Chains A and B, each alone.
Chain A
Amino acid sequence: EIILTQSPDTLSLSPGARATLSCRASQNVGSKHLAWFQQKPGQAPRLLIFGASSRASGIPDRFRGSGSGTDFTLTISRLEPEDFAVYYCQQYGSSPQVTFGGGTRVEIK
């Protein structure tokens, strides 16, 4: 099983700041198999990035995914008020087919 470890657990930042979120895999993950989600309270996760670096439909370009192998990063260039949420990385394809990281909470400082 591929374990995804996200860091930090919580990121306290001001609107307008840059957020850098990390996702480290216990084994190599193919770039096509790594995604990032945003989740707000009471809502389903929302796909932001798939294939490690491709933005999903309607996602603003302040969200950028990068990385390969075992180290992946989600960068939010300038935090908007609606970006304060919990972010998860996800891998697809290694049994179990899907695993998620534990999440990083981005909160207002």
Chain B
Amino acid sequence: QEQLQQWGAGLLKPSETLSLTCAVPGGSLGGYYWNWIRQTPGKGLEWIGEINHMGSANYNSSLISRVTISVDTSRNQFSLKLRSVTAADTAVYFCARLGYDFYKGYMMDNWGPGTLVTVSS
């Protein structure tokens, strides 16, 4: 399977909106949940939210007031927007695919390479 591909602006000023997109090469979005996760040295790995191909999304309650995850099935892409960023949002952001095997369980088995987003004035 090809690795997810992701892109977006890497340097933001406080109060701006973080915007990242993740592409799913060679396949459709159906049958999975598509996730955004970020990583900082201080807080480790933090789940941001997920969306399926129908547009049904779930968010981390700590970020729900600022985050929107959307899906574009025609382009096999999904996106993250995080509003009103501060220095605390500086992190490496990953997109990831979550699948489910009825007999074995949930598997987050395909990740993008990560995008370093720095928030600085």
Residues of A near any B CB (own CB < 8 A): 30-35, 37, 43-47, 50-52, 54, 56-57, 88, 90, 92-93, 95-100, 102-103
Contacts and interface: CB of A to CB of B under 8 A. Distances in A.
Which interface class (under 10, 10 to 19, 20 to 34, 35 or more) fits B?
20 to 34
B107 A50 contact: yes
Interface of B: 35, 37, 44-47, 49-50, 58, 60-62, 94, 96, 98, 101, 104-109, 111-114
Nearest to B3: A44
A42 B109 CA distance: 18
Nearest to B106: A92
Give the interface centre of B46, B47, B112 by most chain A CB atoms within 10 Å.
Answer: B47
A32 B111 contact: no
By Cβ-Cβ distance, the 9 closest A-B pairs, closest first, are: A51-B105, A32-B105, A98-B47, A44-B111, A100-B45, A50-B107, A51-B104, A54-B104, A96-B60
